[in-house]
Amino acid sequence: MRLKGKTAIVTGASNGMGSSESKLFASEGANVVLADVDSEAGQQLVEEISEGGGNAHFEICDVSNEENWQSMTSNVLAKYGSVDILVNNAGISSTSTSDLLSTDAWNNIMEVNSTGVFLGTKTAAEIMKSQGGGSIVNISSIMGFVGGEYGHPAYHASKGSVRIFSKAMAVRYGPFGVRVNTVHPGFMPPMTSSDHGIASKRDEYVAQTPLRRTGESIEVAYGVLFLASDEASFVTGTELVIDGGYIAQ
């Protein structure tokens, strides 16, 4: 029960890593707010968590919309009285266009991956400041450290911005007891699931990873849990890489 009595918001919670994080947080005693645009999957996850004895609540939230953030956090405060943890997990890895230098594609990816993290972090940080502390975990990527063939160039740029922005916010809000850290997953579903469905691509990713396999979302969730919990009370402004050794090369 490492999060007993804490209220945690997880964006992009309905599927993938967000789903794993939400279920793990609930099992550790948190009141989990599932924030997503996919209400059907979100409500199903609320039922699953509730049936397992956890406490979960769904809120519609387009992370690129500031009004959505204000409305959602107001609802959370009214229901639970605090926002102790925020996991900015929502993100997209590509667009429908094949033009890697499309301005529309750039704006689309940046709005979700970068602006969404900015809006969530600043909203939660101010709430946590008034409460005397809290933990924000922003999900970046190994592509926030290095370039590569995988992903849209805007994806790399957006994840790099998450990394440095989080450091700046850690410094700014540290005096108020607010911790801000980033997690950098390697190759794993569902963000790269379309490629993983192609055997040659999957084998290529595995061959580039020292542990010789792709990751699992629960492996990321455990890292996020550590940073969100009081066990990481002296950890802020840093990165946790969960990539099977990919960027150690």
Centre a 10 Å sphere on the Cβ of residue 53 and count the other Cβ atoms it contains: 8
Which value, in Å, is the radius of gyration of the alpha carbons in the chain? Answer: 17
Torsion from C-alpha of 168, 172, 176, 178, nearest 10 degrees = -10
CA distances from 234 to 47, 134, 231, 238, 239 (A): 35, 12, 8, 11, 13
Centre a 10 Å sphere on the Cβ of residue 86 and count the other Cβ atoms it contains: 31
CA distances from 35 to 8, 10, 12, 246 (A): 10, 6, 6, 30
According to DSSP, the β-strands at 31-36 and 134-139 are unpaired
Phi, psi (degrees; rounded to nearest 5) at 86: -130, 130
In angstroms, the CA 97 to CA 90 distance is: 20
Does an H or E element contain 136, and which? strand 134-139
Catalytically active residues are: 155
Question: Crossing angle, helix 39-51 and helix 16-27, to 10 degrees?
Answer: 30
Partnered with residue 32 across adjacent β-strands are 8, 56
Question: Degrees (nearest 5) of the Cα angle 89, 62, 143?
Answer: 35
